[in-house]
Amino acid sequence: ILSHINGVAIFGRQFKTIEQAVALAYWARVKQIIAYANTQNQNGVYYPVFGIGDGFELIASALANQTNIFKNFTNNLSNHVLQVQKNTRMFSLFPTYLLNHLESTPVFNFNNPYGLDLTSFQKNSALSGILNIAAYSVDDKNNKFISAMEGISLPYYLVQFRPQNNLFEWNHANYNHDFNSELSSSLLVDFFVNETRRNMNNFTSLNTEDTYLIYRYNFTFINVTYPRVYFFSNTAWGFI
């Protein structure tokens, strides 16, 4: 499927708390995707990747080739303001008033006790040689952690927070649904969609495309937070 699509968005949920064998298998797949994206970009094919939430950790770990670069941060389960760095591509669609909103209002929910501190990032040449810091935040003890990164030259974009929560989840009191916060979420998504438009991959036919669509699978209702959950057998992973 990777050769047919225009980019990859990698999510994740509680990566460090699920069964180790499952977590390692998922990480191995992420490494496979990143290796493919690296090859494509090196060969002149623009291939963007977007990591969200635990996808931030998975991609960073794959690029750094180690999983122990993250640390615990105080109250990293809540919302935080962002200190956006100058001249970042990821936030290039944001007008000044929205950047000010991100720096003054805790717009995005992180919901993750782990984070990447600036020192660990700078010491890891495999990571800092590929990515730049796009934004950072601070925890309750004023410790800085990286909240967004982007490729120096590669079209890789990672956010530790979860921008989709503002738009689609309404059963949490700390998810911001004001106009500026929802617009901020939309602009991040719009930016990545614009990145994927630079890739010309496609399916050879509608029938071929249909074989890869999620609608071929049945979902299971779990709870009101995640009403549609898909369970796959080990053999289903072969589509990558």
Instruction: Kindly indicate the confidence band of residue 27, based on its pLDDT and cuts at 50, 70 and 90.
Output: confident
Q: φ, ψ for residue 34 (rounded to 5)? A: -65, -40
57-103 pLDDT per residue, tens: 999 988 988 878 888 876 555 788 999 999 999 999 999 999 999 99
Q: What's the count of helices (H) and strands (E) in the chain, helices before strands?
A: 8, 10
Residue 219 has pLDDT above 70, yes or no: yes
Give the other-Cβ count within 10 Å of 135's Cβ.
25
pLDDT at position 13: 59
Phi, psi of 133 (to 5 degrees): -75, 125
pLDDT given for residue 113 in this prediction: 79
Distance of alpha carbon 223 from alpha carbon 199, whole angstroms: 37
Quote the pLDDT of residue 234. 62
